[in-house]
Amino acid sequence: MTHLNHPGAESATPDWHVTAFRGDRSPLDAVRELRARILFDHGRRPDFRRADGTHVDDQALDFGAWHFIARRSPAGPPLGYIRLSTPDAGVPYQSREFLGDERYEELLAAEGLSEADVFEHSRLVVEHRARKLGLGQYLNALAVGAAHHLGARAMVGTSGTKDGQDRFHERFGFRPVPGTRRYVPQYTEDVVIMLHRVAGGAGRHHDLVTRLRDEFPVIAAAGATPVVAAPQAVRAAPVTLADAPAPDRDVWQPVLHSADTLTALLASGDVREVHDTIDDQLTELVRSREPACRDAAEIDRLKADQLDGVPPWAYGTWAWYPWSGRLVHVLPREEFRLVRTDRNRGRIERPEQRRLFGKRIGIIGLSVGNSAALTFALEGIGGAYQLADFDDFGLSNLNRLRGGVHDLGVNKAVLSARQMAEIDPYLDIEIQRDGLNPDTIDEFFRGGIDLLVEECDTPWVKIAAREYARDLGIPVVMDCNDRGMLDVERFDTEPDRPLLHGLLGDVKSVDLLELGHQEKVDLILAMVDAGRISPELAASFGELGRTLSSWPQLASGVALGGALCGEAARRILLGKPCESGRFYTDLEQQLHPSRNVYAGGAR
């Protein structure tokens, strides 16, 4: 039976092909080997491997139980497994052996259950290469759903605790039985008894369990397939794929061509696409200057005046983007910017726009900083930029950074510079793709910076950059990507201001070069003021390197951070009110029902 992503399903998990069998002894040896190998987990549970290197998990419970095996495709290798034991099998459950007969029977009596009412699910295992894809959730829901279909009033099972398996089961409506948690050497962790009452529903996964309860008869009727998949032949990559040119991941500057150099560029074969909307841009230019002009003939006359005898194809600039092969025809710089920022007027008037384009912005850290960089480029905050980041754009960045899968592997500073240049090819952008360190930080500040956006995770860089900024009188803004926290440090007006509002005392960057992991965590907690961070971020610190690979960040928070940095930077650079301090735009609070101005109806 192949799982399909049904409309309205609670999660867009991959498709899984699940088969079931009961009472057939022929696949059991392979099932036990599969289970034991996964449970062994590269030595984490050594009791599941024999001295000869084979894996063992022989249990009498296997006879008479339901066995569910999941694959990606019918002929694919098994990726996950779960067992469902039923009271008619006549074999004592794992839970009974764990508690002992007397304690187990006391538990059932306390719950008002008979042995015939209770089913047990156990041995949920998933191959490493299929983890975190929803397979464990799917298999567990299937076992619970099958038990519901077969008439269970309750389910019982043993659950590990080291990796949060008990919390996983709680999401299905299971609850830990008090007083049953103890260490089990075979599993090298604490184990606890979990109990589930069918009448109480299946927790947050109730809809999935209900759907799989109804699908169970079809899965059961389909029968088993061989547990050991047939070996797959290794296919060689197509020759054309192996010979295809690799992208240039280093270039970030567009090449600006005039009519005089255009022919040579077109003849080079380097142009993949040509985008020429110069006539439309000229129309927008006229309307930007003469908003009241609606007469088509008058607009054409003003466009001709603008061209002043130059053929349209030769007017303005042809921007060639080497990384995409696109050739784009745009207005000359001043006219281009006049039109591009025309909708800023009423918020940012043209004299202010020109003033902003005269500023040079430094941005350190182009993950969260990417949002600020693009916001600045879009809004016209800065005409020149200095960007620094040592890291490359990876797949896990695609939850919050603007970019496509074709950008994977590109340095984040390069990627940001490309995106900014595609908004405005006239921007002056320099980058440091090695990030900042004691050997490169001087160069970053050497060209002069009017405002610094600091979004780096490295404590030394955070402090060293502020030391330079304070010495040079450069204002600093920083978004924390938690609770909409924005830091503003006006070193341009407060040359003696303590770094990071004095939260770290009289810290020096030289003291932060050789910090250990926990020292970095403690320092960052002090920087963000641990008492004010969100509960989610606070909880994540203890999970880093255990259940979390890095800090949790969302695109919505990153986008908000770009907006906050942009607002603060524009105010600072235009001399408008924006004092030093720490400010919160907490969406959890902003969207609270108490903030609804139309609560109870519009008035």
Cβ distance 490 to 571 under 8 Å? no
Domain count, the chain: 3
Of the candidates 47, 122, 132, the one whose C-alpha atom is nearest the C-alpha of residue 81 is 122
Q: Domain of 38: which CATH number?
A: 3.40.630.30
36 within some domain: yes
**Based on the domain organization, do 426 and 493 belong to the same domain?**
yes
pLDDT digits (tens, 9 = 90+) for 215-235: 999 999 987 777 766 566 777
**Based on the domain organization, do 363 and 326 belong to the same domain?**
no
Contacts of 150 by beta carbon, 8 Å cutoff, 6+ apart: 86, 119
**Based on the domain organization, do 382 and 476 belong to the same domain?**
yes
Q: Lowest-confidence range among 7-16, 413-422, 567-576?
A: 7-16
Dihedrals phi, psi of 89, to nearest 5 degrees: -70, -25
Q: Lowest-confidence range among 60-74, 117-131, 549-563, 589-603?
A: 589-603
Given a cut of 80, whether residue 255 has pLDDT beyond it is: yes
Q: Domain of 400: which CATH number?
A: 3.40.50.720
Distance, in Å, from the CA atom of 562 to the CA atom of 583, rounded to the nearest integer, reads 14
Distance, in Å, from the CA atom of 266 to the CA atom of 279, rounded to the nearest integer, reads 21
65 within some domain: yes
For CA atoms 293, 296, 297, 303, give the dihedral sign.
positive
Given a cut of 60, whether residue 5 has pLDDT beyond it is: no
pLDDT digits (tens, 9 = 90+) for 21-46: 997 777 888 899 999 999 999 899 99
> Tell me, what's the pLDDT at 9?
44
> Tell me, what's the pLDDT at 1?
43
**Based on the domain organization, do 43 and 119 belong to the same domain?**
yes
Range of the domain at 371: 353-589
